[in-house]
Amino acid sequence: MAALGDAVESILIAAVTRHPPSGRGRDAASEIRSLAEGCADAAVGVILHRQPGLGELRRIVSALRVSDDYERIAGLADEIVSRLRRNRGLGDLPSLRAAYEALAALTLDQFRMVRSAERNDDLELCETVWRRDRLVDAAYARTVDEAVHLLSLTPQTTYAVVEALCCAKNLQRISDHAKSVADMFVYSAAGRRLSRDRDEASMSRRTRAA
């Protein structure tokens, strides 16, 4: 799983910095698919050849989900790299570029925190990832607002702005997948779900308000 995470981080950095993955090039996506398939095969092998207990089954299910999230993050990041290669117009749109780059930096931070939580078994850091996701959503909203403003003022920049919006949406989705990975790490280690904790807390607040 660590090798898969490293490969995904490489392509995500490429999406944020607009440089191709060092030493990997366009083979990065194939490498990630291969690593994800290896994780899935290993998990299935454990189930077929052993009788895993509940704790081990929980870890297997979590690993499969994390592998899927990592692969999806890689696909979204690879699409950003492709779009940015075609669209070099953000340099002429400094306000949109600033909003987009703030969103990109937050998204990369989310992923790096997830990787740190994985390496250090840090469940508290996983909870931080969940809390910080609202910052990503706010940064995405600011990017959309800036894009809409530019479209109303300078229609000739429509192509560049729409491409930037597509990339921004991918960044938001990457953060959502990073949040899902954090949820699975907590589930694997402690048997609880951050998503369920959030839903229960929200229900409790609504009950008190009523």
How many C-beta atoms lie closer than 10 Å to residue 204's C-beta?
Answer: 10
**What pLDDT, on a 0 to 100 scale, did the predictor assign at position 52?**
66
Low-confidence winner among 51-65, 73-87, 146-160 (lowest mean pLDDT): 51-65
pLDDT category at 173 given cuts 50, 70, 90 is very high
Report the pLDDT averaged over residues 65-80: 92
Say which DSSP state 17 is in.
Answer: H
Name the residue among 114, 123, 132, 121 with its Cα closest to residue 69: 114
Q: What is the largest CA-CA distance in the chain?
A: 64
Rounded CA-CA distance 132/8 in Å is 20
Rounded CA-CA distance 45/152 in Å is 56
Name the residue among 106, 177, 183 with its Cα closest to residue 137: 106
pLDDT category at 196 given cuts 50, 70, 90 is low
By residue range, what is the domain housing residue 50? 2-209
For 124-146, what is each residue's pLDDT tens digit? 999 999 999 999 999 999 999 99
**What pLDDT, on a 0 to 100 scale, did the predictor assign at position 88?**
67
**Mean pLDDT estimate for the chain:** 83
The domain tally of the chain equals 1
Low-confidence winner among 20-24, 155-159, 184-188, 203-207 (lowest mean pLDDT): 203-207
Name the residue among 27, 28, 25 with its Cα closest to residue 8: 28
For 35-65, what is each residue's pLDDT tens digit? 777 777 777 777 777 776 777 888 888 888 9
Q: Which amino acid is at 43?
A: A
The CATH code of the domain that includes 159 is 1.20.58.220
Give yes or no for a contact between 143 and 170, defined as CB atoms under 8 angstroms apart.
no
Residue 24, C-beta contacts closer than 8 angstroms, at least 6 positions apart: 7, 10, 11, 31
